Amino acid sequence: QSVLTQPPSASGTPGQRVTISCSGSRSNIGSNPVSWYQQLPGTAPKLLIYSDNLRPSGVPDRFSGSKSGTSASLAISGLQSEDETDYYCAVWDDGLSGPYVVFGGGTKLTVL
């Protein structure tokens, strides 16, 4: 059971805009910047979004991030078949025993 809650699955058709949510609490999303990762099968995760809504160089602007209160979202516009894979949110948690990083449970995106 992850500290951050993501929907197990999401879907959309090519060209559509889809969003993936990540729900947390005051001690994590409510206090710290959120990152998002894309993980293709059999490969290491790739950083898509950091500091809630910033994209590393090379990440298409089809990917965007937002945050409100204790929830964050990843939006993918102009959905493409190659976007079909797993997505994870991550954030620091200001735990009682010291800060640590938590990941969401992951969302599998299907392009119909």
Partner 1 sequence: QITLKESGPTLVKPTQTLTLTCTFSGFSLATSGVAVGWIRQPPGKALEWLALIYWDDDKRYNPSLRTRLTITMDTSKDQVVLTMTNMDPVDTATYFCAHGHPPETWGQGTLVTVSS
Give contact residues for partner 1 (rule: CB under 8 A).
2, 35, 37, 39, 43-47, 50, 56, 88, 90, 95, 97-106
Smallest gap from residue 7 Cβ to partner 1 (A): 13
CA-CA distance, 108 to 71, in Å (whole number)? 19
CA-CA distance, 63 to 71, in Å (whole number)? 17
Between vectors from CA 38 to CA 8 and to CA 25, what angle results, nearest 5°?
Answer: 55
Smaller CB separation from partner 1, 43 or 78: 43
Q: Please check whether residue 57 is in contact with residue 108, taking contact to mean a CB–CB distance below 8 angstroms.
A: no
Smallest gap from residue 104 Cβ to partner 1 (A): 7
Smallest gap from residue 61 Cβ to partner 1 (A): 19
Quick one: CA torsion of 23, 82, 65, 75, rounded to 10 degrees? -70
Smaller CB separation from partner 1, 78 or 99: 99
Smaller CB separation from partner 1, 44 or 61: 44
